[in-house]
Chain A
């Protein structure tokens, strides 16, 4: 364990976050807005109302899953940026199965059907992530390149399927039909009611549970050490008999499952259908979430909430300011992700140089 909490490598992403925030606020000057005003909106709009807080918690749920999807492969030394494509793919599968499967009118049939849908969605996520592993194992392709191309391919496939095959007949927007009514059981769950019908749902607890389970698995079972060992030194891991294939399958498979968690949260906890463009790039925001938390599974909860607040604030800039638009919020998020990731890499780079000398 790294005992020195306040060393540069650990602090770097936070310095990056602060730097990115400052940069964003200064950028507002170009649009004749007060940086202070922008900063206030970014940091405070998440608790304007119960609904707002609920919305922020919904974002938190998605970002926890997306953050986990990045963090697990990172432990094995894999830079996994394919979460976005996996989210879209699994969400569409979930939405399709939700419309295609109609349970009989008894609780047993309903439970079986729900289980089938959830497990298939998770499996779809895992399968889409294992594609990356397959390319790496059979073609020695680099995971970053494969993942980024698959992101585009999955986006294209899901869009095509939605528009040409699964388009809701009752809507003019590009989206699928609503899932079967019996599967919309989270519509009136306790959390939703408490937060004035905002998108938040019990998936929040599932996300928190995943973080805790992973934290436990990492420290108390062998698999966590195995993955970390592979990440630290693949050659030495192979000598101990941990094969690359095994580690790739486990870490990327899990990453895919967590990506599918985002899809489930959206389709079964929020809109009950697949809408093209529903994800404001959760997959990429997840990278920043994970890096801020230094891949600490419990830390991801905090950093996901922080990024959710910023995300909420950024989307409100449109309403709360005169000149800034929705597109500007995307610019802001890109700057924040960029500066967090860049600072992480710079710190790693300098730490590596220091170690070598």
Chain B
């Protein structure tokens, strides 16, 4: 036997055993299904509760309205979910929406508003919006992935920058002159009887679900979120993909921003307002794990639906807007509690 026989400790292996201990707890399918169905059940209960309080809730008009409202938040929640999957965050999402809104409106106004052709106007808006979103996403991605700054501070920084840009280029006032051709494409139009917002959200949702579950990019995002070091050792280009994730997040936010601009009919420097918070709340309540690597389109959309129904119901039952802020805060905390319970149950 050797004198220099130094062994790395096996303590870590032993401690791994403890996590396995906990995981063995609930292999039963029943519990797993219960966890998956918890939110849909809560949704139905919520709807039922509001329906009892006010009979306007369950009208087909209101249901379509809810679906349409949900499509905006769902887009933002999906955007947020993409970066949360990688253990990130995007606090600049709301201000990005504001920035894109005024940027696109200014571009359209610069093109002569309604006088130019519809296609030209929409292209200009798309180009301006996308350019701003790419700039923001690139900043976030580069600062997080290449400079190693925590996503929190990086996006807190870009949040400030986006707010500054949005208010500066708009002079702090709404930008008028959004032509009807633009609204036609992003708000009033419809396809197969469905409002365009719902159609866009559906298309994005299906495409994103495909990307996440079936492509190398999507698979890699989950692996990076689960264990970034292992991903790097396995040759996954972690830094590059992180930049892509932030870019995708900003691009989806920009799409949502164009839709909201079309709805309000002007570029609003405060359009993003509480959207960062709402999108994080939706993603987390839906079951996207802040620890990274867990979540998907379904969790983001369900979360968005939950929050939209809640605020729709509160609006109809005339609950004060300030109370709604309190409820939103409570939901965020509730979401973390649920996330914690889910993780420790594994």
Whether chains A and B associate is: no
